[in-house]
Amino acid sequence: MRSALHALAAAAAALPLVSLPVRAGQIEEAKTGLNLFSYQERDGRIGVLSPTAWVQAPVARDLDFEARVTFDSVAGASPQYVSNEGGPVVHTLSSASIREWRKEGMFKATRWLGDDSLSLGADVSSEHDYLSQTLSTDAKFEFLNKNVTWAIGASVTGDAISFTGFPDIHQRRVTRGVFTGITQILSPTDILQSNLAFTNGRGYFDDHYEYTVSFLGRRVFLDRDRRPDARHSLSWLTRWKHYVPALGAALGLDYRYYQDSWGIRSHMSELSWHQPLSTTWSARPVVRYYTQSAASFYSTTVASSSGVSSSDTRLAAFGTLTLAFNLSARLGDRDTFEIGAGRYVQRSSWRFGSGSPDLPRFDASYAMLGWTRTF
C-alpha cells in the first residue's frame, strides 16, 4: 500500500510545489483529567482535600458528553457561635473537630443541531446531612458569521437538609435559575463575554449549627441562626480577554456584580495574565479583589424582634484579596500538568466603604495539582 503513497508523492514532486516535512501531534478528540485541590484556613480551622476526575468526549457525530466526580474530605473546626460574654464580640470555633465527606457527580450531554447546540445536565452532591440535586439546560446559538454566540439556560436545584442528632427533622429548599449571555469576538485579539443570571430560592436557608449568645447585664440570650425563607439574586459577569501579540500573552479582565434580596451587594474584579514562557511552560498570575455589603439581618448580638438574625461571617461586610499563581507544563503532545497556589485574605476594613465591626481576620491558602490528557 505504501507504494501508492510513494507513486502519488513522486507525481506531486514533479509539480512546482513545495514538499514540507510532515510534523504534527496527535489529533485530539477527547480530554480527561485528574485534579487535586487543597484548601486550608489559618489557625487550624477548616481544611479541605478534594480530588476530582473528569472526562469530555464526543460520543456520536452530533453528541458530546462530559462527566465529573469529586470527593471532598473536610476536616477541622468551623465558627459555631458568636458571644459577647467577655465584653467584645468573639466568634468561637466549635469545640469538636469535624471530619466529613462530600461526594459530587455531574454529567452534561450536548446535542449539536447544525451550528447551534442544546445541553442537558445533572449534578448531585451529597453529605451526611445534605443532599443537593440540580437539573440544568442551556442552548447556544451562533450569529454573524460565528462572531456572536448567544446562550440561554435554566436550572432547578432541590436541596434536602437534615440535622445531625435530630433524625426526624428534614428541611427543603428549591432554587430556580435562569441566565442569558452574549459572547462577542470584537477583533482578532479581543473577546468580550457578558452573562446575566437570576436565581429565585425558596425554603430553608438557616445554618442550624450556628448560634449567637448575647449577655445583656446578667441576662443571657441564645439565638439560633434564622434567615428569610426566600433568596432572590441577580449576578452580572463581564469578561474581556485580550491577546497581546508582541508578548504572545493573554490579558484577562473580569468583573462581576451581585445583589440579592438579603441586602448583599458585591463586586468582584479579577486581573489575570497568561504568559507562555517556553514551548513547554506557561505561567498565569491572578489577582482578585472582592467586596460585599452585609446582609440586612447580619448581627453579632441577639436581634430584637425581627425574627431573622445571623452572625455567620459570610453574611458580614468585608473585602478580600486573592493572589494566585499557576504554572502549567505541556509535556509531549498529549499531557498537560498544572500546579497552582493561592492565598485568600479577608479583612473587614478592606471592604469598599466600611466593613462589619468585630469581624475576625480570616486567611486561607489553597494549592492545586492537575493533569490533563487529550486523546
Partner 1 sequence: MSCRNEIQLFSDSSETAQAAFEETVEEVQRIELLWSRYRPDSIVTCINESAGRKPVVVDEETAGLLDYAATAWRESDGLFDITSGVFRRAWNFSSDHIPTKETVNACLPLVGWDKVVWQRPEIYLPVSGMEIDFGGLGKEYAADRVASLLVEHGWIALINLGGDIVASAPRPGDEPWQIGIRNPDAASRLSGHLPLYSGALATSGDYERCIEVNGQRYGHILNPRSGWPAADGPASVSVIAQNCLLAGTLATVAMLKGVEAKRWLDSMGTVNHLVW
* DSSP 8-state class, residue 188: T
Nine-digit cell string for 171: 428541611
Among 95, 187, 278, 305, binds partner 1 (CB under 8 A): 278
Nine-digit cell string for 221: 440570650
Contact string (CB under 8 A) for partner 1, positions 144-173, x = contact: --x---------------------------
DSSP assignment of 270-328: EEEEEEE-SSSEEEEEEEEEEEEPPPTTB-SS--SSSS-BB--GGGS-EEEEEEEEEEE
Region binding partner 1 by CB under 8 A among candidate stretches 7-15, 121-129, 154-162, 353-361 = 7-15
State in angstroms the smallest separation of the CB of 334 from partner 1.
10
CB neighbourhood size of 299 (10 A): 23
Tell me: does residue 11 bind partner 1 (CB under 8 A): yes
Q: Can you tell me which residue has the cell 426526624?
A: 168
CA angle 56, 57, 61 (to 5 degrees): 145
State in angstroms the smallest separation of the CB of 31 from partner 1.
9
Nine-digit cell string for 371: 493533569
Region binding partner 1 by CB under 8 A among candidate stretches 60-68, 74-82, 174-182, 357-365 = 60-68
Q: Within 13 Å and on the Cβ side, how many CA atoms surround 363?
A: 5
Nine-digit cell string for 142: 451562533
How far apart CA 360 and CA 353 sit, in angstroms, is 17
Query: Which of positions 239-268 make contact with partner 1 (CB under 8 A)?
Result: 248
Contact string (CB under 8 A) for partner 1, positions 93-112, x = contact: -------------------x
Tell me: does residue 28 bind partner 1 (CB under 8 A): yes
Nearer to partner 1, 276 or 285 (CB): 276
State in angstroms the smallest separation of the CB of 128 from partner 1.
41
State in angstroms the smallest separation of the CB of 337 from partner 1.
17
Tell me: does residue 61 bind partner 1 (CB under 8 A): yes
Contact 367, 340 (CB under 8 A): yes
Region binding partner 1 by CB under 8 A among candidate stretches 90-98, 164-172, 272-280, 281-289 = 272-280
| Residue ranges in contact with partner 1 by CB under 8 A | 1-5, 7-12, 14-29, 58, 61-62, 64, 112-117, 142, 146, 248, 276, 278-279, 333, 374
